[in-house]
Structure 1
Amino acid sequence: MLRKNTESRSRNTSINTSLSQKLHHLASEDKHFKSSLFALSRFSPFILCIVLFLFTSCVVLFGPFVALVGEPQIRTSLFYYMFLEHEKRNDGVMTSQTSTKGINKKSIKTVDITKPFDANNRLNVAIAILITKEPDETSGFLDGAGTLALSIENAHSIHDITLIALVHEDVHECLDIFEFLGFEIIRKPIPIRNEDIKNREIAKVLYEMLTDGCCGMLELLKLYTWTWTEYDVVISMDADMLVHSNFDEIFDVMFKHKNNTDMEISRVDKKYPPKDTSQVITAKSPNEPYILGWTHGATAEIGNELMNGGFLVVRPNMQDYNNIIDILLEGDFRNDGTAWRGSNVAWTYGGRTIQGVVPYYYFQVRPDMHVELPRCKYNNMAEIERCRRWYIEDVLINHFTWCQKPWTCADQDVIICQHFTQKWWKFHRQLETWLELPTRPQCPYQPLNWRKSPKFLSFLKQKHDRAV
């Protein structure tokens, strides 16, 4: 017991000694800290001045750079210059927008599209694709249309969307596939006949319409979208396009009032003013919304493809439809390079059809009723350097033209084209799964075997049973 008490006292003495040493050490450290803090306080004004000087220098030197990086085009340009120098290429197109460091903001009409459209004000919207000939099930066209339809669905528009396949009356094959994909089928003849053109001398020239543009006179079928007045807006799209994300802001643009202070004048309004002001149809009100949204084509910078016929946003109205038909029936397209009625508008590929008569009409007859949409965002074909450097996440819709169609398996060394192809395959794999078909290799491309899809076969059976 005594031994235990002795050991206990010894242990306590040791602990007390240890605690005393630690307290002494802490006091010493505290003394040094206070001494250091006192010394530092003597120099704090000098140190503060140095910090402020360095901060100000950084703002002056790097502030503009940081601000520029906020622009999507600049972010992509920086990505190119820092990491992808080998991807640079010159598209060889003469352009008034030669700078790759940002958009010339005076070159297009711009509107404030940051405010979303009122979700309570749902629009009735049609999205139409054109089918001018019998689709070949092995060509990739059907696969592209199916992938486009799925991408539109995945965009989750707040508006009521109806898919429409606008089909020439001679087309009969594969329409059941489009119905299965959710397209409403509308079959129509070409809206004009060559023998109906009033000026018979010029009508001879118009026979060239049979081969002009992508599909000659057949592309005039797109004019029917102007007649679908049951819809608030119709978007006419080529089947080789892909929707990347929600596109509802397009409708904000179309329904914006033109007297907004954030609006700028499009360069085409300055370059192609109406030659005959007596034919101009003015808006009923300065607040009247736009009736056509469009994007430039590949050769717009040299005055050719002013509008790309593959992407048009139309507010249907019979007045414009009838007026455009009258222009076509008049047939005054001049082969001396002055094009429609000698206006110098749209002497271009497809100029005798949609890509000519539509820009002529809206530049010369309805100059205050159309709005240019940024093509790199809404119809990115990557045909100009600026669109190739567009920040990929800011592209809403791309168009496989200059970037080759995914089913061609063409080698493409341009980064944004590779992104577009990857995005297409992402949606296409979802379509493949939905059809309950086995996974195929990307290349060499094997078209979807629609006739072996359990879902498609079930759809055909249900359709047959309803018919019976």
Structure 2
Amino acid sequence: MVSLNSRRGAAHHHVRHALVARLIIGFVTILISAIIIGYYYVLSSTIQAAGKINRSDNSVDVNGNGGNSIRGGTTEIHGKQPIATIGYAITVSGCPSGKDRGDFGAGISDGAAILQHSIRLNSIQNYPQSQSLYDYKMYALVHVEAEWCARPALEPLGYEILIRDVPVPLAEIEGKYLREKVADNGCCGDKEFVKLYAFTLIQHPVVVHLDLDTLVLKPMDKLYNVIINGPPKDGSNGGIDVAFDDPLISTTAASTNDNKIDAFFTRDYNMAHNGMKHVGVQGGFLVLRPSIDAYNEFVSIIRKGDFQESRGWGGLGFGPFYGSMTFQGIIPYFYDHLHPGTGIELNHCTYNNMADNPRDEPTRNDIVSGRCRDGYNRPDKHDVCEDCRSRPIENVATTHFTLCQKPWECLPQSADRIQERLCRKFHHEWYRVREDLETSIWGRESIPLTNTEEIIKTRGGAFEIDHFRGYCNGHGKNGYIKVNIPS
């Protein structure tokens, strides 16, 4: 027989084990539920912060307040606290279609490598030499058809690749003229609109969009300060070289008490002609405040397609000119007409300097002639215009290799005339930046230019070593020695 006390003890022991088991199961269930809930919370927060692109119309919808600006955080760089991280974006809209475009690969990989290093040299990463307090991050806006050539060239350099289609498919553009003509307009047709995705990089307080054939020569902190903090309270230009010495805050903006500046750009006066109502922007340089609302407004403008054959966007004279149906025309339409006073034209001798003739007649023996192109719409400026070709390189913030031709074409530009002197200095600086990238960042041997034998042995180029630093072995693009990018 089993005693009653023994049975009660066994029963009590069984109940206690069952209770412990239930508690453990309950705890595990709660823990798993918390992990699942936490995962979906983090996932949804990430989606909210990043925003999403609606594939039906390519408009961008961001829930909540959008992403936070990437600021310096708590990590000091060279003993200094970064004010913010500036987003730098390039666009690759297409790839070479034939062997006759053999220099195009150099334009992507080498252009991107040297551009990025010039940005680094003029950021907080190169403090105190740069005196800049802004960090940087590189992006590549790549059209879907260009991924095959852009990704392998740019990813090894650290660019974040963003594959994008045109914001509005051609078939969805309502305006018949724009729908039928824009694909053949300017350099890249409607693919040029891919540049507008720079406005969606809202994780940065400021984004700079540059063409691949550009070079940064000086920090642009003053531009970033104005976009982030607003114009100086004392009414000055804050040291910014505004076109025509105009005030930083326009009369229109001052009258509406809206002192916010959302963009800085330069105009392409090479495309201007007498009687043109509005001059287009130069598409290789734009400093902007990212905004989902601005991007969606651009999408709406393109979708409506109100571009008239002889009168441009809105029938207001924003075209026709080269690229007027795309980036070069829609940007001034947006900032000059739809949001006047929020976009500021900069002096194109300081920013985006192309060493272009400011007048509409040829220059012979360094003697200029003709009317000032940038004075067509400014009667007070008809006969007074700075010749950007005479600007000291030390006073240039960025240059754009258009009229000077590409650095990777190994053109000496050595004639002693105004058309070439500044171009040679720009090319010389591009090769100096390339050499600094290869030696100081990639750890390759630094060789004095006077040691021609070692330069030729190590770098392969004997053509004008003092200028091309061993990276050209002959005149022209076939003489260029491409950058060997580390894996």
**TM-score between both structures, scaled by the size of structure 2:** 0.60
Partner of 2:142: 167
Indicate whether 1:440 and 2:460 are aligned.
Answer: yes
Contact 1:300–1:307 (Cα < 8 Å) also in 2: no
Q: CA deviation at 1:305?
A: 4.3
1:196 alignment partner, one of 172, 177, 182: 172
Indicate whether 1:155 and 2:116 are aligned.
Answer: no
Q: Which amino acid aligns with 1:189?
A: D
Partner of 2:286: 312
Contact 1:257–1:286 (Cα < 8 Å) also in 2: no
Q: Which amino acid aligns with 1:409?
A: C
1:415 alignment partner, one of 421, 424, 427: 421
Partner of 1:243: 216
Q: Deviations over 1:305-348 (max 9, x none)?
A: 43111100110112221222111111111112x11111012321
Q: CA deviation at 1:130?
A: 0.6
- Does the C-alpha gap of structure 1 residues 258 and 186 become closer, same or farther in structure 2, counting only changes over 3 Å? same
2:436 alignment partner, one of 430, 433, 440: 430
Contact 1:127–1:164 (Cα < 8 Å) also in 2: yes
For the residues of structure 1 that align with 2:246 and 2:421, how far apart are their CA atoms? 34
Q: CA deviation at 1:232?
A: 0.4
Q: CA deviation at 1:245?
A: 2.6
Q: Which amino acid aligns with 2:435?
A: R
SS at match of 1:286: coil
Contact 1:143–1:448 (Cα < 8 Å) also in 2: no
Aligned sequence identity (%) = 29
For the residues of structure 2 that align with 1:383 and 1:401, how far apart are their CA atoms? 9
Partner of 2:304: 330
For the residues of structure 2 that align with 1:265 and 1:154, how far apart are their CA atoms? 24
Q: CA deviation at 1:293?
A: 0.7
Larger CA deviation: 121-130 vs 348-357: 121-130
For the residues of structure 1 that align with 2:158 and 2:256, how far apart are their CA atoms? 38
Which gives a bigger RCO, structure 1 or 2 (Cα 8 Å, sep 6+)?
1
Matches within 5 A, 1:19-418: 122-134=83-95, 138-139=103-104, 140-141=106-107, 142-157=109-124, 158-170=133-145, 171-198=147-174, 202-254=175-227, 255-257=229-231, 260-263=234-237, 286=257, 288-299=259-270, 302=273, 303=276, 305-336=279-310, 338-385=311-358, 386-412=387-413, 413=415, 414-418=420-424
Q: Deviations over 1:82-107 (max 9, x none)?
A: xxxxxxxxxxxxxxxxxxxxxxxxxx
For the residues of structure 1 that align with 2:177 and 2:481, how far apart are their CA atoms? 43
Q: Which runs of 5+ in 2 are unaligned?
A: 1-79, 125-132, 359-386, 446-457, 462-471
SS at match of 2:115: helix
SS at match of 2:405: coil
SS at match of 2:264: strand
Q: Which amino acid aligns with 1:401?
A: T
Q: Which runs of 5+ in 1 are unaligned?
A: 1-118, 274-279, 457-468
For the residues of structure 2 that align with 1:435 and 1:186, how far apart are their CA atoms? 29
Contact 2:140–2:161 (Cα < 8 Å) also in 1: yes
For the residues of structure 1 that align with 2:170 and 2:254, how far apart are their CA atoms? 32
Q: CA deviation at 1:205?
A: 4.2
- Does the C-alpha gap of structure 1 residues 296 and 253 become closer, same or farther in structure 2, counting only changes over 3 Å? farther
Q: CA deviation at 1:178?
A: 1.1
Q: Deviations over 1:401-424 (max 9, x none)?
A: 011111223353321101001001
Q: CA deviation at 1:134?
A: 2.7
SS at match of 1:125: strand
For the residues of structure 2 that align with 1:160 and 1:138, how far apart are their CA atoms? 31
For the residues of structure 2 that align with 1:317 and 1:207, how far apart are their CA atoms? 29
SS at match of 2:148: coil
- Does the C-alpha gap of structure 1 residues 205 and 449 become closer, same or farther in structure 2, counting only changes over 3 Å? closer
For the residues of structure 2 that align with 1:430 and 1:243, how far apart are their CA atoms? 14
Contact 2:242–2:347 (Cα < 8 Å) also in 1: no
Which entry has the higher C-alpha Rg, 1 or 2? 1
- Does the C-alpha gap of structure 1 residues 395 and 340 become closer, same or farther in structure 2, counting only changes over 3 Å? same
Q: CA deviation at 1:223?
A: 0.7
Q: CA deviation at 1:428?
A: 1.7
For the residues of structure 1 that align with 2:436 and 2:82, how far apart are their CA atoms? 31
Contact 1:381–1:399 (Cα < 8 Å) also in 2: yes
Q: CA deviation at 1:448?
A: 4.9
Partner of 1:19: none
For the residues of structure 2 that align with 1:187 and 1:134, how far apart are their CA atoms? 14
Contact 1:346–1:355 (Cα < 8 Å) also in 2: no
Q: Deviations over 1:351-387 (max 9, x none)?
A: 0000011111111110021111221111000113411
Contact 2:200–2:292 (Cα < 8 Å) also in 1: yes
Q: Deviations over 1:270-297 (max 9, x none)?
A: 9xx9xxxxxx9x7997364311110111
Q: CA RMSD in A?
A: 3.1
For the residues of structure 2 that align with 1:144 and 1:230, how far apart are their CA atoms? 25
